[in-house]
A and B are shown apart, each in its own frame.
Chain A
Amino acid sequence: MAETLTKNHEILEGPQAPRQSRFVQQFRLFKENRLAVVGLVIFLAFFITAVAGVVLTSGQDPVFNPSLVRLQEKLQPPLSLPNLETLKAHEVPTLGIYLLGTDDLGRDVFARMLQGAWVSLTVGFVAVGIAVIVGIFLGGLAGYYGQEGICYDQILDFLLLLSGIIFFILKWHKLGFGLFTAGIFMMILSFRARRVKQNRFMPGWLHKSAFSFDTLIMRMVDIMLCFPSFFLILTVVALLPASIYNIMIVIGLTSWMGTTRFVRAEFLSLREQDFVSAAKALGLGNFRIIFRHMMPNAVAPVLVSATIGIATAILTEAGLSFLGFGVPPPYATWGNILSDGKRFIFDAPWLTFVPGIAILIVVLCFNLFGEGLKDALNPKLRQE
């Protein structure tokens, strides 16, 4: 009887689960999470508003003028009509109505909110962009080249070059120049010493590895984590001249540690996986392995943390504005509209509530969207 069975070598598959691409599955999972979908929709609406805002409020003669002062119309509540008798023709709001009221200088809050949307969005995206780029770069290096040691002579080279540059900046030109040349000379020496087997230039201990690359980067992360982050941002922003770019850069440069940590963790585990060994066995270059084979797998958690990071950056900007270190006056941001409004909280509550609720909704959407993305990208949940 067994023979009759074995005669049939044809492999007959029963009906299996319909094949779906990973993206389709992820999208289905994402759709399941209704809050996340709401988050995405509002995020898109916010994005469109911000783009519309920058178009409609900039230029010589903007459609909505956010900086037009009408002192006779100050602190008008939302939906109030302008007093046409006291206003000149160009001062009448574009919609013929103060949709969200006016502030203490009679500026149209609706126009200011439109302009602020773009600024808040830029601050969030640029700051997180910087953090993510630094984070991926350092995390990838630590994770992929982590085990490579840094030798004593390399440290020495680096210290010589660095101190040379520092002294040069401190205007000790001769000493700086001397150290810098010594550093370059050292570097050439150690390069040669590595090539030549019997090296006469250097004692052997200089080639011993002092610590690994991974240690170096992770200690940098530890050092950065020692600073209380809001306090650090506040200090630097307060010491630097007030500008929107400084704020973006400072927020970005103080929030890359999380990304670094998990890109590294992800890379460490990916390195051990067979498809990376296979890629190496095929003789692919490190660059190609990192960016073509490993990065797509590590990108999911980075995306999630970036989404949530944008939310945090918008909140941080608002906090800085509140303390008077936010984006300086020519720009309106939701943060500084809100903090300007706090003086009139009992007389003109809309000046607090309009930007406050707007920030709340946008940040909430980013968080919900990020959380939904996390679930959708989680391979454990994708099964079944």
Chain B
Amino acid sequence: MAFQKPLLRTEDLKVYFYGRDKISRAVDGVSYHIHAGETVCLVGESGCGKTVSALAALGLIPSPPGKIVGGRILFKGTDILSLDEDAMQKIRGNQISMVFQEPLTSLNPVFTIGDQIGEAIRTHETISQDALDKRCVQLLRDMGIPSPEQRLHDYPHQLSGGQRQRVMIAMALACNPDLMIADEPTTALDVTVQAQILNLLKSVQEKASMAVLYITHDLGVVSGIADRVYVMYAGLIVEEGNTRQVFGNAVHPYTMGLLASLPDRKKRGKRLHNIPGTVPNPAYKPDGCPFHPRCSHAVESCKTVEPEMIPLEEGHRCRCPVLAKKP
């Protein structure tokens, strides 16, 4: 796998939001890649830039105020930042699709779900109405929605939250994309429904052999589905590696903090760990390592020197010079 060309690769991506008198560096030099068929997780607290770095791959950064100021995004070898709007439209939904966080507000309330799924297909393919209906029904059935023929004529408000998210996933799968970006698809759902949706995503991925970029703040979800993990903090990737490396052998203090704050059977009865402080405002990031004000390992140089990614072992890299040196 390592020698294969990645499906999507971002290099030193920078997305800034220009406010009235300040610049929010939401994504500040992020490089990640996804191979075909792989599941990659982007993990981090809210506001660390994970959604923005994924939206950039679809060219959906709200502009103004957002702007991609640097870096490249290579999809199948072509830099999609250099593509014009027409070419981008052919990629969106067709080759890269996206599932959003809030199924309630992400579906248009005035169109039936049949309309909305069918629209995704019709935009990219020429298809007869009969075939289109059949395909929509099949998609809904694959998503495990009961009596899909009737549901096709329902409006989004007539469905439950979990069903709406299934419709969103059906819409994202409609054109058999090579890559699906799932932006916290289970956050707004009940815990029991969360598990169903996760299983659905997993089975769908195996069947369709597509790549999934899964964005979440929930490390518990990550261990179940991810091949590789990127941990983001304040617009930077602070640690990357495969799931075993990140979960079993975390090096960056932020990753360790996240892992320590996970509830676990072994920690029963003990007080859960929490990371002191909050994520810095992207417009007022501290100098040096952005994590140093919250880090117990911080040394004097952390306050001034911006750390680089340091390779540890095959595929495992981290952005902490202090802990990386220790064996």
Contacts and interface: CB of A to CB of B under 8 A. Distances in A.
Nearest to A29: B20
B293 A14 contact: yes
B278 A13 contact: yes
A384 B18 CA distance: 10
Interface stretch (B131-139, B235-243, B280-288): B280-288
Contact of B294 (A1, A4, A14, A17): A14
A55 B257 CA distance: 72
A13 B257 contact: no
A16 B280 CA distance: 7
Contacts of B157: none
Contacts of B286: 14-15
Given A2-B256, A6-B260, A14 B296 contact: no
B67 interface: no
Contacts of A4: 296-297
B293 A1 contact: no
Contact of A17 (B20, B275, B284): B284
Interface in A1-41: 1-2, 4-17, 28, 32
B86 to A, nearest CB: 32
Contacts of A15: 280, 284-286
Given A12-B293, A13-B293, A32-B20, A5 B280 contact: no
B277 to A, nearest CB: 5
Nearest to B291: A14
Contacts, number: 53
A6 B273 contact: yes
B253 interface: yes
A30 B19 CA distance: 15
B276 interface: yes
Centre residue among A1, A4, A9, A15 by max chain B CB count within 10 A: A1
A16 B296 contact: no
B273 A1 contact: no
A250 to B, nearest CB: 43
B121 to A, nearest CB: 36
Contact of A11 (B19, B253, B257, B276): B276
A13 to B, nearest CB: 5
A32 B19 CA distance: 12
A4 B20 CA distance: 41
Contacts of B257: 5
A11 B294 CA distance: 7
Contacts of B19: 384
Contact of B277 (A2, A14, A384): A14
A319 to B, nearest CB: 40
B284 A8 contact: no
B293 A8 contact: no
Interface in A179-195: none
B160 to A, nearest CB: 26
Contacts of A14: 277-278, 280, 284-286, 290, 293-294
Given A1-B256, A32-B20, A8 B276 contact: yes
Contacts of B290: 14
B75 to A, nearest CB: 31
A5 B273 contact: yes
A12 B256 contact: no
Contact of B260 (A5, A10, A11, A12): A5
Given A7-B296, A12-B294, A17 B283 contact: yes
A7 B293 CA distance: 15
Contacts of B281: 16-17
A384 B286 CA distance: 18
A42 B276 CA distance: 52
Interface string A365-384: 00000000000000000001
Interface string B188-225: 00000000000000000000000000000000000000
A8 B280 contact: no
Nearest to A12: B293
Contacts of A13: 277-278, 293
Nearest 7 A-B pairs (CB), nearest first?
Answer: A8-B296, A14-B280, A14-B293, A2-B260, A11-B276, A12-B293, A14-B286
Interface of B: 19-20, 253, 256-257, 259-260, 273, 275-278, 280-281, 283-286, 290, 293-294, 296-297
Given A9-B276, A14-B277, 4 more contacts: A6-B260, A8-B296, A14-B285, A17-B283
23 contacts: A1-B256, A2-B256, A2-B259, A2-B260, A4-B296, A4-B297, A5-B297, A6-B273, A7-B296, A8-B296, A11-B276, A12-B276, A12-B293, A13-B293, A14-B284, A14-B286, A15-B280, A16-B280, A16-B284, A17-B283, A17-B284, A28-B20, A384-B19
